[in-house]
Amino acid sequence: MIFDTDVIIWFMRGKPEAAQVVASSPKESRFISIITYMELIQGIRDKAELKILKKMLPQAALTVLPLSEHIGNLASDLMDNYKLSAGLEVQDALIAATAVAHQDTLYTGNVKHFKGLGVDIKIFSV
């Protein structure tokens, strides 16, 4: 299971629904894209929050998946095909491409960002 940024934000904020979603997946199958990790850092306001994030990832058994040439090529194809028609943004193309490349499900509350991209999606809601 690859968790989208919104799910991890809710998890970090202590939402029980997000904690349940993460806890219900096997520890060896909990992933986030490096893009999600960077989006989380982008939203951090101080060093204390960064420390919490860096501690939370291993505690939650979340593995950060790196980018690869294959993921970059898939994301580029997605941008070519969906930027104009669906307003696809780079970070979402990279997260979607990560899920496709790893043949894994993307757990997200932002279904509209990934609908029609060939990504197996599981819907999260709070």
Give 60-111 pLDDT, tens digit per residue.
Answer: 999 999 999 999 999 999 999 999 999 999 999 999 999 999 999 999 999 9
Residue 4 in contact with residue 106, Cβ under 8 Å? yes
How long, in residues, is the chain? 126
pLDDT at 80: 98
Rounded to 5 degrees, what angle do the CA atoms 78, 114, 70 make? Answer: 40
| Cα distance between residue 71 and residue 98, in whole Å | 6
Predicted structure pTM score: 0.95
The domains of the chain are located at 2-123
Let me know if 76 is exposed, middle or buried by CB neighbors in 10 A (0-12, 13-18, 19+). Answer: middle
Element (H, E) at 122: strand 121-123
Mean of all residue pLDDT scores within the chain = 96
The CATH code that applies to domain 2-123 is: 3.40.50.1010
